[in-house]
Amino acid sequence: MKEMPRVAVIGCGPAGLMAATVLSEAGLVVDIFETKGSAGRKFLVAGRGGLNLTHSEQAEPFAARYGNNAAIFKKLLTVFSPADLRAWLRELGVETFIGTSGRVFPKDATAPDILKIWLETLGKRGVVFHYHHRWQGFSQTGDPLFLTETGVLREFPASAVLLALGGASWPQTGSDGSWTAFLAAKGIFLEPFRPANCGIEVAWSEHIRTHFSGKPLKNILLRCGDRQATGDVIITTHGLEGGPVYALSGMIRDLLEKNSPVPIFLDLKRDLLLERLQEKLEQPRSKESLANFLRKAIHLTGPAYSLLREICPPEDLKNPAILAGHIKNLPVPIIKTRPLAEAISSAGGITFPEVNADLMLHKLPGVFVAGEMLDWEAPTGGYLLQGAFSTGYQAAKGLLKWLGHTPPQPPPSSRPKS
C-alpha cells in the first residue's frame, strides 16, 4: 500500500461513475480514466428510449432476474438496492416515479440532465477525469498503464484500482472488450462474450423485408420452450427486435450454441382463446378476401397477416381450425442472433469465482471489478442499470475496506423500517 491513498477508477460508465461517487464521498483522491473523450456514453444510450433506471419489483423476484447469479445479486442488492438508488438520485435533485409496468423512471430529467449533475458533483469533490486514456494492463510495479491520445504510454501510481471497463456490446461507447487479454495474461478465467438482449435473424422473403421492415406486431406473445414474453415486436430487415425478443434472446442464444433446434412461436391474438378464435374464423366470409375477413373478424391486419402468408402453407389458410392454430402458435424459423456489437448488453467476462465477496480479484490484490466486466446478464427493464450501480457500489465499498477506510452508508431514508 502506498503512503497516500490515490485510487484509479478505469471506465466512465454507470458502474465506474458509481464507484467514483462512493470513493470520493469517503474522502479518497480519485482519478477516473476513460478511453473515449467523454463520460457516460452507454448511460446516454440507455436513456434514448426513456431512461429506465431500475425496477420496483420485490427483492426475491428482482434477484431472480439475474439467472444463475441470483444468489450473488441478492446480496449485492441488499448492499445497494433499488430504493437506495432512488434515494441517491433524490440527493442529486432527481425525483423518480414508478410506471404502470413497475419500472422506475426520472420524473423531470433526461439521461443527459442526470449525467451533467452527476459529473458536476464528482468534479466538486475533486474527482479528476482523464479522457482518451486506454488501459494497457499493469506495469512491473503493479500500477495501471494507459495509452494516451498522443501515443504516449503513461503509468499512474495508485494505491488501488477499480476496473469498470464494460462488456463488449455497443463498442462505439468504449466497451469493446479489449481489456480481456490483459487479465487473461494474469491467469484470470473469463467466459467468452456473447450477445444478450439482442435481436434474432429470420430468413424473410423480399416482400416482408421491403414492405414491413420497421412495422410492429402489437400485443403478441412470444414463446420459446417453457418461457414466454409479451409485448410489441418489431419486424426488421434481418428478423425481429423488441422487448419480448430480448427477454428470450439468452435462451435462444444458448440453444443455438448447442446446435439445438430453436422453435419460437408467436401468438398473434393472445387476447383470444383458441376456441373463441376458431368460432370467429368459422363465420361465413362470402366473397371477401381472407385479408379483409381477418381484419373485420379478429382485427388482424398488416404485418401479422403477411407473416401468416409467409410461413403457412396456402391450404392451411383455407381451414378455420388449422388457421386458428397458426394464429395462436405461428412457428418462426430462426437463423441466429444478431451480432454482439448490436446487442443491448453482453454475457460473459470475469467469472465470479475469480473475485471475492468484495469483488476484488483473488490473483490481483487491490484490483476490484464492477459492471459488465463480470459474467452476468439480466433482462431490460431496469435490471441492467441496477446491476451496474450495485456492483460499482460493492466494488468501491470493498476497495475502501481493503484500504482501511470506512465505507459510506446509503441514505437511511432509503432503508425499510423493521
DSSP of 21-61 = HHHHHTT-EEEEE-SSSSS-HHHHHHTTT----EE---HHH
Residues 65 and 29 in one domain: yes
Q: What is the DSSP letter of 374?
A: B
Residues 224 and 358 in one domain: no
In this prediction, residue 263 carries a pLDDT of: 79
pLDDT by residue for the chain (418 residues), tens only, comes to: 344 479 999 999 999 999 999 999 999 999 999 999 999 999 999 888 789 999 999 999 999 999 999 999 999 999 999 999 999 999 999 999 999 999 999 999 999 999 999 999 999 999 999 999 999 999 999 999 999 999 999 999 999 999 999 999 989 999 999 999 999 999 999 999 999 999 999 999 999 999 999 999 999 999 998 999 999 999 999 999 999 999 999 999 999 998 877 879 999 999 999 999 999 999 988 888 999 999 999 999 889 999 999 999 999 999 999 999 999 999 999 999 999 999 999 999 999 999 999 999 999 999 999 999 999 999 999 999 999 999 999 999 999 999 997 655 655 544 443 3
114-120 own/partner pairs: CB under 8 Å, 24+ apart: 114/43, 114/47, 114/51, 114/89, 115/39, 115/40, 115/43, 115/44, 117/92, 117/93, 118/17, 118/21, 118/40, 118/92, 119/17, 119/39, 119/40
Residues 221 and 185 in one domain: no
Residues 282 and 135 in one domain: no
SS3 state at 129? strand
Nearest-5° Cα angle at 137, 131 to 138 = 110
What's the domain count of the chain? 2
| Domain membership flag for residue 350 | yes
Beta strands 29-33; 128-130: pairing state: parallel
Q: In the listed set 337, 355, 390, which residue is the last one of a domain according to the structure?
A: 337
Q: In the listed set 337, 357, 386, which residue is the last one of a domain according to the structure?
A: 337
Residue 350 sits in a domain whose CATH number is 3.50.50.60
* Backbone torsions φ then ψ of 320, nearest 5 degrees: -55, -40
CB 17 within 8 A of CB 39: yes
In this prediction, residue 302 carries a pLDDT of: 80
In this prediction, residue 2 carries a pLDDT of: 43
In this prediction, residue 164 carries a pLDDT of: 98
Residues 154 and 290 in one domain: no
Residues 204 and 302 in one domain: yes
| Domain membership flag for residue 1 | no
pLDDT tens, position by position, 281-328: 999 888 889 999 999 999 998 899 999 999 999 999 999 999 999 999
In this prediction, residue 71 carries a pLDDT of: 97
Distances (CA, A) of 76 to 67, 250, 364, 367: 14, 22, 21, 18
- Provide the residue range defining the domain that includes 208: 200-337
CB 181 within 8 A of CB 41: no
Beta strands 6-10; 29-33: pairing state: parallel
In this prediction, residue 415 carries a pLDDT of: 42
Nine-digit cell at 305? 397477416
| Domain membership flag for residue 87 | yes
Residues 137 and 282 in one domain: no
